[in-house]
Amino acid sequence: MNYSVSEENYIKSIFHLQKKEGTVTTNELAAELKTRPASVTDMMKKLKTKKLLHYQPYKGFRLTADGTRVALGIIRRHRLWEFFLAEKLKFTWDEVHEVAEELEHVSNKKLIDKLDAYLGFPKNDPHGDPIPDANGKIDPGKKIRLPDVPLQTLCTVAGVRNQSAELLELLENKKIKIGTRIEVRKKFEFDQSMEIKTGKQSINTISHQLAENILITYDAG
């Protein structure tokens, strides 16, 4: 139930990286944490035994539901402290991150919940990022249809507009499901089809009819 500063930093980094990539590699994480790949492997084994991680050697990793819950707790603490530092202590918005990096590891739940109340249950930190509530829920952004997403912007599949077997079959074929990270690379004027990148690398072309039935949000958390 309680994690070391080091474990928390790993969990947090994995959370942020997998938001961008879906799955995280050893080298990516080592670069992010300014440590060595060998150290990452050691920690991954440890986090796997704690059931916070899906991890197969050589295959990258992603957080389990438990891991995600832990990550959201850390992010909640970080962003609440950022809000406090900016709002109450008059730090400028570019100073808050560094200080919050230290404060976020104080994980007393009562402290954080009381801080939240004291601050008036803010929805966003000074950088505009959403603050998870005491249950780890992030106020979901509005769902919008894929054709309305700007180019080169990362977003996450949040739902579909109908449940027909035909649509689901197509989605399955294209490996698109709830939670898949999508970036629109090109929109073709001729037929309104679009080229999208899903997950880490696969490039796909989808029709306008399909795109219209895919709902996304910008911040799945």
Partner DNA sequence: CGAATGATTTAGATTTGGCTAAATAATTTT
Partner DNA sequence: AAAATTATTTAGCCAAATCTAAATCATTCG
Summarize as ranges the residues that interact with its own copies (CB under 8 A): 85, 88-91, 95, 99, 102-103, 106, 108, 110-111, 114-115, 118
Q: Which helix (H) or strand (E) holds 150?
A: none
| Strand arrangement of the beta sheet that strand 214-217 belongs to | 144-145, 214-217, 154-160, 181-187, 194-198, 202-206
User: Is-contact 116 80, C-beta < 8 A?
Assistant: yes
Tell me whether residue 10 or residue 91 sits nearer to its own copies (CB atom): 91
User: Is-contact 15 21, C-beta < 8 A?
Assistant: no
Tell me whether residue 7 or residue 21 sits nearer to its own copies (CB atom): 7
Which of its own copies, DNA, none does 102 bind, CB closer than 5 to 8 A by kind?
A: its own copies
**Cβ 207 to its own copies shortest distance, Å:** 54
**Cβ 110 to its own copies shortest distance, Å:** 8
Which of its own copies, DNA, none does 4 bind, CB closer than 5 to 8 A by kind?
A: DNA
Q: What is the distance between the alpha carbons of residues 208 and 73, in angstroms, rounded to a whole number?
A: 38
Q: Where do runs of H (alpha helix) occur along the chain?
A: 5-21, 26-32, 37-49, 65-87, 96-103, 109-119, 165-173, 208-212
**Binding window for DNA (CB under 7 A); candidates: 19-27, 138-146, 164-172, 176-184:** 19-27
**Contacting DNA within 36-55 (CB under 7 A):** 36-46, 55
